[in-house]
Amino acid sequence: MKKLYIAIDFDGTVVEDKYPEIGELKPLVKETINKWVEDGHKVIISSCRSGKDEMLAFEFLLEKGIQFHCFNNNHPDLISKYRNDCRKIGADLYIDDKSVFCNGIDWQEIGEFVDAKTK
C-alpha cells in the first residue's frame, strides 16, 4: 500500500465552520483520520488559526482522540527530503472544504477515495 502525506484543513473540514468558535466534528472524521494513521499515512492538520485559537484547535483534536502527526507544520520527513521548510504545507493530498471540487465534505466518500488511491 502506498503511504501518503495527507494535509487536512480544520475549520469546515474536520469540524463545522463556526470560526472563531470550534464547531462539531463532521460525521466519520475521527474514524477516517485515525484509520489513515493506523494504515501508516502521515496526517497533517492545517489551519489558518494562530495563537490562542490555534492552541484551542490543537487541544480539541487531542481531546476528541483524533490522531495526527503535525499541526500547522510540515512533516519532518518532507523537510529532510527536500531540505526546505517552506510556508506551504507539503502533502500528496489536500482535503479542504474550500476546494474547487468539493461540494461539501463527505468523509465516507473521502475515505473510499484515499483507499482506492493507495492500492
* Residue 21 is assigned to a structural domain of this protein: yes
Q: Is the confidence at residue 12, as pLDDT, over 90?
A: yes
For residue 38, the tally of other CB atoms under 10 A from its CB is 9
Can you give the CATH number for the domain in which 49 is found? 3.40.50.1000
Is-contact 11 49, C-beta < 8 A? yes
Residue 37 belongs to what domain range? Answer: 5-112
Question: Cα 32 to chain center, whole Å?
Answer: 10
Work out the percent of the chain whose per-residue pLDDT is above 70.
97
DSSP 8-state code for residue 101: T
Q: What is the pLDDT of residue 85?
A: 81
Q: What is the pLDDT of residue 28?
A: 96
* Residue 117 is assigned to a structural domain of this protein: no
Number of domains in the chain: 1
33/75: higher pLDDT: 33
Using CA atoms, how far apart are residues 78 and 8, in angstroms rounded to an integer? 16
* Residue 20 is assigned to a structural domain of this protein: yes
Q: What is the pLDDT of residue 84?
A: 83
* Residue 78 is assigned to a structural domain of this protein: yes
* Residue 26 is assigned to a structural domain of this protein: yes
* Residue 97 is assigned to a structural domain of this protein: yes
* Residue 90 is assigned to a structural domain of this protein: yes
Residues 6+ apart with CB under 8 A from 31: 107
* Residue 118 is assigned to a structural domain of this protein: no
Weakest-pLDDT range from 4-8, 84-88, 115-119: 84-88
Question: Cα 116 to chain center, whole Å?
Answer: 18
Backbone angles phi, psi at 2, to 5 degrees: -70, 135
- What are the pLDDT digits (tens) for 18-56? 999 999 999 999 999 999 999 999 999 999 999 999 999
